[in-house]
Amino acid sequence: MRDIAELKVQAAEQAVTFIQSGMVVGLGTGSTAVHAVRAVGRLLQAGQLRHIVAIPTSEATAAEARSLQIPLVTFDTHPVIDITIDGADEADPNLDVIKGLGGALLREKIVAAVSRRFVIVADHSKRVTQLGSKAPVPVEVIPFAARPVGDYLQSLGARVEMRLDGADKRPFRTDENNIILDCYLGPIADPYQLAAAIRQQPGVVEHGLFLNMATDVIFATPDGLEHVTRL
Ligand code: 5RP
């Protein structure tokens, strides 16, 4: 069986074949999406892609893109993105996904929301029949609201864990200096209802349920690539 690291590369590089010269590209975050960023850098260097500009979904991705001389722009000049390629923590048969174990869900959702095409790249371990089966739903919260939001999420049935960082286990801070509460729910019967409920509580900035947003999911499996699309 091909190892997972190799499958991540295959999924990401397949998605990059959808990029054409002149496009505005959203660059995702994580150990799968980084392979798409690197492939874009290589194709630009080789002259096989030209006049690409990109919007990164995190400071980490911005740094990677800069190191590869991928020109970065902002929404001020490029409010619409042609294609975004990003990873996921879970994807279901409806192309609904959970994202955010890498901590970048807020910028990722902002970028995805203005993308004409939003391509998820993942190895087969991310495929689920019901969201929540394996991954928690990350909820980005302003630090001041940690307790009331945590209590509220528990009242929705979640086991809530504040995400921690570093050897001293301090609260993880996002690029926007918020915290993340990981919500372990098990298989979610109605992700749309849950997403609406999470939004009700003041202090919630964003959640990791990306519903009806992905246009494509590319799964890399030991038997080859599987491309599911709603285009
Ligand atoms: C970051 C994300 C990542 O895309 C997601 O966590 C998948 O990461 P990886 O490809 O490393 O498994 O949502 O916020």
Q: What are the residue boundaries of the structural domains of the chain, listed by start?
A: 4-127+211-229, 137-208
Mean pLDDT of 149-154: 98
Cα of 200 from ligand 1 centre, angstroms: 25
Please report, rounded to a whole number, the percentage of residues in the chain having pLDDT higher than 70: 99
Matching CATH topology for 4-127+211-229 and 137-208? no
Q: What is the whole-number distance in angstroms between the Cα of residue 136 and the centre of ligand 1? A: 13
Tell me the pLDDT tens digit for each residue of 60-109.
999 999 999 999 999 999 999 999 999 999 999 999 999 999 999 999 99
Question: Which mutation among 4, 9, 29 tests ligand 1's pocket best, with the greatest number of atoms within 8 A of CB?
Answer: 29
The three-class DSSP label of residue 143 is helix
Predicted local confidence at residue 2, as pLDDT: 64
Indicate which residue's Cα is closest to atom 1 of ligand 1. 102
The dihedral formed by the CA atoms of 84, 86, 92 and 94, expressed in degrees to the nearest 10: 0
Nearest ligand 1 atom to the CA of 30 is 11
Q: Which amino acid would we find at residue 213? A: M
The whole-angstrom separation of Cα 73 and Cα 181 is: 30
Active site residues per annotation: 108
pLDDT score of 181: 98
**C-alpha 28 to ligand 1 mean position (Å):** 8
Superfamily of domain 137-208: ACT domain (3.30.70.260)
What residues contact 6, with CB distance under 8 A and at least 6 apart?
Answer: none
For 4-127+211-229, give the CATH class: alpha beta
- Cα separations in angstroms, 19 against 16, 37, 52, 145: 5, 12, 9, 40
On average, the pLDDT of the chain sits at: 98
- What pLDDT, on a 0 to 100 scale, did the predictor assign at position 59? 98
Q: How far is the CA of 105 from the centre of ligand 1 (A)?
A: 9
pLDDT tens digits, 39-70 = 999 999 999 999 999 999 999 999 999 999 99
CA distance 105 to 209: 9
Ligand 1 environment, Cβ below 6 A: 28-33, 86-89, 99-105, 108
